[in-house]
Amino acid sequence: MEIVVCLKQIVDPEIPASEFRLDPVTKRQIRGSHALVISTYDENALEVALQLKEKQGGKVTAVTIGEEQATEALRKALAMGADSAVLISDPPLLEADDLGKARVLARAIRKLTTPDLILCGCESADWVSRIVGPFLAEELGLPCVTFGTRIEPRDGKIVVRRIVEDGYHLVEAALPAVVTIASDETNTPRLPKVRDIMAAVKKPITLLRMADLGIEPGSLKEMEGRIVLQDVAIPVREARCEFIEGDTPEEQAERLVLRLKELKVI
């Protein structure tokens, strides 16, 4: 099975809120000294792809749009077990909106391979828009299943376990298809072995420019014709925590119950 996994490199989303800063001009996070990582669910998507490869055979290609330093995310993907990696990099791409990114990814995927399956994280851990995956399906004219956690190949199709509000659906999809991946206990990303990290450093990464894909810079920000990002702000939280003290847990418990009763919430 030929599988393409779309990855995004972002500033570590686990940093505490107190260290989060915004650039007022670009309306983006200031990286500061924080680490760059693969966006959380993209790693789950890679894990699903690698498990499928182990079961079915085939090839996994990791693709990302990013700056030169995004090679590090691709190296990690290679170290985890991806067979090849593609970096699509060009300065105008930094400004691309979700539609622009989906177009670029679609062109790159068509140029590189004829995949059976394209996986994305269900959302990026920075902008959380959940758009690129379904957009990519539309660009490629493929069926789409979102928020899948497990994929079973069955009779030339796949069965996706899609998580929903009150459980899950088993959705059969014809191939090729685009699936966005959410996390569960079966797709916790593996840690690369240090030996594989060393091997990954020696593997080539394919670099694509916009010209290679026939993309015009003007086509990267079409969403702004409809919707414009006006402002990004850090919300002020004012709640000051009132600590319930006590010499014993029993005392703390009693005081808490009395306080909650006062507040009329129990």
Partner 1 sequence: MDFHLSEEHRLIQETVRTFASTEILPIAAELDQQARFPKEIIQRASELGLLGMMVPPEYGGAGLDTISYLIAIEEIARACAGTAVILSVNNSLVCDPILRYGTEAQKRRYLPDLAQGRKLGCYCLTEPEAGSDAASIQTVAREEGDEWVLTGTKIFVTNGVEAEICIVYARSEPEPGARGISAFIVEKDRPGITVGKVERKLGIKASSTAEIHLEECRIPKENLLGRRGEGFRVALSTLDGGRLGIAAQAVGIARACLEESIAYARERRQFGQPIASFQAIRWWIADMATRIEAARLLMYRAASLRDRGRPYTKEASIAKLFASETAMWAAHKAVQIHGGYGYIQDYPAERHFRDAKITEIYEGTSEIQRLVIARHVLGVRS
Partner 2 sequence: MATILVIAPAYEGHVGRTSLELLGGARRIGEARGMEVVAALLGKGAGAAASQMWQYGVKRVYVADHPSILLGELEAFYLASLEACRAANPGVVLLLADSVGREVGPRLAHRLGGGIVTECIDVQAGQDGEVTFLRPVYGGKAIATYRLVNFPVVVTVKPHTMEVPAEMPVSGETIPLELSMDPEGLKTRVLEVVSEEVTGVKLEDAPVVVGGGRGIGGPEGFQLLGELARLLKGAVGASRPPADAGWVPPTWQIGQTGKTIRPDLYIAVGISGATQHIAGVSGAKVVVAINKDPEAPIFKVAHLGVVADYRKVIPPLIQKIKEIVGT
72 binds, among partner 2, partner 1, none (CB under 5 to 8 A by kind): partner 1
Residue carrying structure tokens 């206990």: 185
* 54 near partner 1, rule: CB under 8 A: no
The one segment of 20-28, 70-78, 81-89, 115-123 that binds partner 1 by CB under 8 A = 70-78
CB of 44 to partner 2, least distance (A): 9
- Cα–Cα distance measured from residue 55 to residue 148, given in angstroms and rounded to the nearest whole number: 18
Task: Name the residue among 241, 252, 1 with its Cα closest to residue 115.
Answer: 1
221 binds, among partner 2, partner 1, none (CB under 5 to 8 A by kind): none
CB of 199 to partner 1, least distance (A): 8
Residue of 76, 103, 107, 161 interacting with partner 1 (CB under 8 A): 76
* 79 near partner 1, rule: CB under 8 A: yes
Buried b (16+ CB within 10 A) or exposed e, 238-263: eeeeeeeeeeeeeeeeeeeeeeeeee
Determine the length of the chain.
266
Alpha helices (H) along 4-131: 40-56, 71-80, 98-112
The one segment of 104-112, 189-197, 214-222, 231-239 that binds partner 1 by CB under 8 A = 189-197
CB of 104 to partner 2, least distance (A): 14
The one segment of 55-63, 85-93, 113-121, 192-200 that binds partner 1 by CB under 8 A = 192-200
SS3 28: strand
